[in-house]
Amino acid sequence: MRDRVGIVTALGVLTVLCAIAPLVGEFWSGVLARCVSWMFLAISFSLAYSYANIPSVAQATVFGAGAYAAVWATSLVGGNMILIMTAGAAAGALIALVFGALLLKMSHSGAAIGTIISAVTFSMLGNAAVAYTGGTDGLPMPAQAFHLLGMPFAVGPNIGMLLLGSAVLAALLVAFWLFSGTRTWRVVRAVQQNAMRAQVLGYNAAGYRLAVFAVSGCVAGLGGALYALISRHVAIEVVSLSMSLKSILWAAVGGVTSIYGGPIGVLAVQLASELLLRWTVRVDLIIGLMLIAVALWMPRGVMGLRRPRSSQQSQ
């Protein structure tokens, strides 16, 4: 079942972002470009949680792996942005495959604990491996002549990267929307709802869950690569547990059961943070209160508001 309202809403949000970019200037374009890269992270959490049934608190680790892979790949392959983004996506998928294979051997709550341990462990390892990660100081994106499809491209927090990130995200969402009408996606939903029932129909439930988790890693890794290109710098805080928790908050605000909720959640939380910062230093407190309100009165997030309660789970 394809969610027309969801895809139109998400594409509408991206279109508005791109349309207002020339009006709001470079600073806000950079903020919005980073937001777009985080949208990949929020979507990856929704995929992992709602469709692979893995409550991953380590999605930022996968996002960070994509970001670091982008920096390392730039050193190796130069400024070819397609290759850099591919490296990020591949690194994310690979890490998720390894994580997923281990997590599927655990119970649901065990997997959640496992991902917390993984997030902390990778953060510590990243801090220790200063030669490769730059530790807390991070690694700068190597100076290269970046190019996209043969055209020179200026990386950094600018309108160009906002447009590129939005275009890639829009393509991803449209691809997902098309895929959500297929028989394979129906099997994914069946496995998500009742893995044992799907198994006795002849489906390899664990295989489907692992594949979806790998895709979620691929999405996070791609977002990480875009983040590295936008920030031109990657520090170990990107893989931190707090970053993973942010991804959960974004997904929760947008609607964790909908892929299309992530972009709305990122914008709502991050823009509110940016605006509140101009008035108060107690941004985290206010955002925390907002999230409690969302948990109490909008448990299915923004995307959950538009459908009757009985059919909300269906997507």
Partner 1 sequence: MSFGAFRALNDVSLDVGHGEIRAIIGPNGAGKTTFVNIVSGIFKPTSGRVTLEGRDITTLSPQRRARLGLARTFQITSLFKGMTVSEHLQLAVRDADADGETRRELLEQMGLATFADREVDTLSHGDQRILEMAMAMVLKPKFLLLDEPTAGMSIAETDRMIRLIIERLRGRIGVIIIEHDMNVVTQTSDKVTVLAAGAVAASGLPQDVLRDPHVKEIYLGSAANH
Which positions touch partner 1 (CB under 8 A)?
Answer: 1, 183, 186-187, 189-190, 193-194, 196-205, 310-311, 313-315
Select 246 or 300, whichever has its Cβ closest to partner 1.
Answer: 300
Q: Shortest Cβ distance from residue 175 to partner 1 (Å)?
A: 21
Tokens 């990949």: give the residue: 40
Select 199 or 273, whichever has its Cβ closest to partner 1.
Answer: 199
Q: Shortest Cβ distance from residue 174 to partner 1 (Å)?
A: 22
The alpha carbon of residue 38 and the mean position of all alpha carbons in its chain are separated, in whole angstroms, by: 5
Q: Shortest Cβ distance from residue 210 to partner 1 (Å)?
A: 14
Q: Shortest Cβ distance from residue 301 to partner 1 (Å)?
A: 17
Select 31 or 211, whichever has its Cβ closest to partner 1.
Answer: 211
288 forms beta bridges with: none
Q: Shortest Cβ distance from residue 190 to partner 1 (Å)?
A: 5
What distance in Å separates the CA atoms of residue 43 and residue 64, rounded to the nearest whole number? 15
Select 136 or 194, whichever has its Cβ closest to partner 1.
Answer: 194
Between helix 59-77 and helix 108-128 the angle, nearest 10°, is: 40
What distance in Å separates the CA atoms of residue 175 and residue 177, rounded to the nearest whole number? 5
Closest CA to 226 of 37, 29, 93: 37
Select 159 or 205, whichever has its Cβ closest to partner 1.
Answer: 205
296 forms beta bridges with: none
Q: Shortest Cβ distance from residue 52 to partner 1 (Å)?
A: 17
Q: Shortest Cβ distance from residue 304 to partner 1 (Å)?
A: 14
Select 144 or 312, whichever has its Cβ closest to partner 1.
Answer: 312
- The alpha-carbon radius of gyration of the chain (Å, integer) is 19
Select 116 or 190, whichever has its Cβ closest to partner 1.
Answer: 190
Q: Shortest Cβ distance from residue 311 to partner 1 (Å)?
A: 6
What distance in Å separates the CA atoms of residue 103 and residue 59, rounded to the nearest whole number? 13
Select 104 or 163, whichever has its Cβ closest to partner 1.
Answer: 104
